[in-house]
Structure 1
Amino acid sequence: MNQSTGYPLSPTIVHLKRKKQIDSLRVFIKDVREIHAGEYHVFFCSGNRELTLKIQLPSDFPTQKPLIWINPVIQHNWVTDNGRIMSPGLVNYSEHSDLGQIVHSIVREMKKLPEIKSYPNGERSGSETFPSASQQLSQQQYVPIPPFIPELESLSKNQIKNLSEHEDILHQFVDELPQAEAVATDVKNHLDNVEKIARNIGDLKKTLTNKRQLILQHYEKLNELKLEWDSSSTQHHNLSQCYLPNNIEESLRQAATLADEKSEEMAEVFLSGQMDVDTFLSSYTASRTESHIRKTKEEILHKQLQELQRLGY
């Protein structure tokens, strides 16, 4: 079904449009390989990466949008978790989009990715990783536990025995240790960090909600504009058909026939005595003149069209 006119496209038109899109892909992209009917692979390098775009064309392409994946899967706001590409050109796809330009913009965007740097022991620099909030917490440095406690080493056997026998004294001793104070401070810092992350998440949720609402509004506006465009396109198509030279010739022929019929009806009315002479002569003459003018225009246009056809236009 043609989205712009509402009428089904013939197989020939669909095939021509599909071939035109594939030809456009080969024009914009040099290294395109056809794996089998409806599937194409594009190979390119981004920094020190070797990437492949897998392009699948549905049976009703270009009416239906193409499906594009990237391998290996990379981190990019156009790439989903399973490697599917959701570029602006694909999101806003219509049957009038150009496949070659869409794929070219994807390749150009992917080539902007930074190179993957290698480090000893497989370590990565902090600027190239994007840890989640839980990873950030798990990577925090905790206060190390020393192999011995100096304050405990300085106690006598009786004092140690006293600590073991009295839990309240033991708790007080532990709370006064510098290590315990450092752990308490460390725990407080972590709690503050968690609260800060929670507040940031709340703010991001509000931002996400607002942006989602804005996207929905834009999507509704896009649908309205698309309907207006489809209506205007259909109206333009109908008007262009009306003003084709062959259609104008046919309209003149029909108009001349109508004028002849009108003059014959006037003659019948006059002969039946229902119309006076002056009225008959005025109306009949005007109708015949109108018919003659239309026939003359139709004949002139017909000769012009024949001459153009003879010249190969």
Structure 2
Amino acid sequence: MLPKIYRSDPDIRKHQINTLKIFNDNVVEICEGHEYQISFKSDRHELCLHISLSNEFPNEKPLLTISPPIVHPWVNADSEVTSAPGLLNFSIHSDLGRVVQAIIREFERNPPPLKNDSNNITPGPGSTITSPTVPIRECERSSPSYCAVNNFSSPTHQKRLVFPELKKLSMDELEFLNNNSDRQLEFLNDLPPIKEQNKLLDDLIVQVEELAESNLSKQEQLSELRSEIEQKIGEVTKLAFENERLHMKYQDMSDKYSPFNIKEQLRLAAEKAESECESIADGFLKGEVDVDKFVNLYTKARSLCQARKTKEEKLSHQLESLSKAGF
């Protein structure tokens, strides 16, 4: 037998909610099984993450909203957390608690500014020069590697978008960079963070290829194991049928030799022997048998009848005693 545990949807939903409480502190239940909220500190701000679970959860992604409104690449204009890696890849096999834990850690490690605060920020005299105006869509079309990094790397605080390399460029070079998409692509690909992310991405590609090759190398072994399992399943099936046949035979024998059945058979046999005695007596009265033969036949039949009646009475008495004793 190859045991395997299958959970029902309610069990999986309950397990997901349990992971939320296991991996996170300050979990407050608003509506049992549907709404929860977690309060935490991000720098000097007190943030609250609201978790809403639909009736289709965990087959459907949870809805996570953050308040007060913040500025962060993972959060859309409606303060909904939509671009967190754990949410993008969320499935029935994910752990809700770990996904929420990763989001809270990101906000704690890289405190995002509040929307109201970010709208009031004005550049001062000593402000750092930021990146030139580069159309994001055009960059994404012309730079596959940048797009891959943009999707792969973990979003960080917007202050990280400041490029110190721009300080080394003259105004003419900055103007040229702003107006030339090829130069923008070259500039972006030369940035240390982009190079690092591209290297990480290349390393991951190599790891994935090695894992794929390893999986393919085990295909023959997997096929052999599958054949062995199918063979064993066939053997188990045959044994199950044989077991069923023997069980039915055992049940028949058990019924046949049960004390109550033996008692009934003794009663019927005693009646049959008594009937034979009467037949022998009738034959003698009609003159069909002589005295010696009659005495011999009648004595045997009568002894057999009496022996069977005695055995039947003893067995009845024993069964009655067992019944009174509770057996």
**Larger RCO: Structure 1 or Structure 2 (Cα < 8 Å, ≥ 6 residues apart)?**
1
TM range (shorter): 0.3 to 0.5
TM-score normalised by the chain length of structure 2: 0.40
- Which structure's CA Rg is the greater one? 2
